Amino acid sequence: MTGGQRAIARCFLIAAPLAVGLLCVCLGRYAVSLPQVLSTLSGYLHGRMPDTQAALIIGTIRLPRVVLALLIGGGLAVAGAAFQSLFSNPLATPDTLGVVSGASLGAVIGLFFRQNLFVVQVLALLSGFLAVAITYLVSRHQGRVTSMTSMVLAGIVVSSLFSSLVSLIKYMADTESQLPAITYWLLGSLASANWYNLALCAPFIVIGSAVLYAMRWKLNILPLSEDEARATGVNLKGLRILTALCATMITAAAVAMCGQVAWVGLLIPHICRMMLGSDNSRLIPASLSLGAVFMVLIDTLARTMTEAEIPISILTSLIGAPFFIHLLRTTRGWDE
């Protein structure tokens, strides 16, 4: 790829999420034009607070939701790509270490005790980190992690344990009030998006994604053995810990803000890998951009297809699973 082609590709990866985001702000039951959106954004940037109905809808409802969708889609895709490099497995997902099940348990506990959204998000975030910490401790033998396979197996066990606890709480929940709230939250939704919630969890996604993006060249070293990595002068153990920590931060924050979101961390990196190869210097930026676009489009479908909003995970699974089957059949295997 020449310098000019790289510049064009870089501009496209930046422009695509912004363009799709602006378009999706316009869409909804209350029609808003693009000039209205741009005018409202300009007013906010210059300290003016427009008081029209369109400006209110744009600034307090749609714009936070689109920003959240961009962050979650890009973050989960980057986390998925990082985990796939970390475990040298294209089927690795952001839940490989049990973070999704852990965060879900924390949120379900908050909903069971009828806490407000802030407490639910904090509990989800803390519980997600707790699940990964337990996974790390379980996978250790004689003071160190013996292999990445042992960590994957520990993650499966911890994820199953936390999922069982979620099921236990659902069984004990009141069927009239608590259980519907828990079930709907677990299906995933961006309906509760606002600037306050973004301020709580978005920094974790932004920081985690920024660190992974900054060290995207080093992520190519993750599949190497200890001796091979030592020859490059890179601390492989430190790199693996930092990669897992950043991907965990992203995933826990995403689950804390909108519940479980299936397929994004698996499907998007796999598509980018098929188009661009396994070089993380190209894979990470492409996953970030395509994941953001994908999630914004999915969320727009979720809130506009029917009168009642469709949970995010239903749509991502309905679209992601058949498309992944198509990819598998056209590539004739995982390694091609």
Domains of the chain by range and CATH?
Answer: 3-331 (1.10.3470.10)
pLDDT tens, position by position, 66-121:
999 999 999 999 999 999 998 888 778 888 889 999 999 999 999 999 888 889 88
Helix (H) / strand (E) containing 306: none
How confident is the model at residue 143, as a pLDDT?
Answer: 65
How confident is the model at residue 330, as a pLDDT?
Answer: 72
- 3-class SS letters over 109-139: HHHHCCCCHHHHHHHHHHHHHHHHHHHHHHH
What CA–CA distance (Å, rounded) separates 275 from 286? Answer: 10
Residue type at 31?
A
**Residue 141, strand partner residues:** 144
User: Which residue, 101, 70, 82, 310, is CA-closest to 189?
Assistant: 310
Query: With DSSP H G I counted as helix, E B as strand and the rest as coil, what are the percentages for the chain, rounded to 5?
Result: 75, 0, 25
Helix (H) / strand (E) containing 48: none
How confident is the model at residue 336, as a pLDDT?
Answer: 44
Q: Which letter, b or e, does each residue of 260-279 get, where b requires 16 or more Cβ atoms within 10 Å of its Cβ?
A: bbbbbbbbbbbbbbeebebe
How confident is the model at residue 1, as a pLDDT?
Answer: 59
Question: Can you tell me which residue has the tokens 């709480």?
Answer: 169
∠ CA 58-289-335, rounded to 5°: 145
What CA–CA distance (Å, rounded) separates 287 from 251? Answer: 15
Residue-by-residue pLDDT tens, the chain, 336 positions: 566 777 788 888 889 999 999 999 999 888 888 888 888 888 877 777 666 788 888 888 899 999 999 999 999 999 999 999 988 887 788 888 899 999 999 999 999 998 888 898 889 999 999 999 999 888 887 667 667 788 888 999 999 999 999 999 999 999 888 999 899 989 999 988 888 888 888 999 999 999 999 999 999 888 777 777 677 777 888 898 899 999 999 999 999 899 888 889 999 998 898 888 889 999 999 999 999 999 999 999 999 988 888 999 999 999 888 887 877 777 655 444
User: What tokens were used for 153?
Assistant: 């197996």
∠ CA 254-198-159, rounded to 5°: 20
Q: Residues 10, 52: contact at Cβ < 8 Å?
A: no
∠ CA 116-68-318, rounded to 5°: 100
Q: Residues 136, 151: contact at Cβ < 8 Å?
A: yes
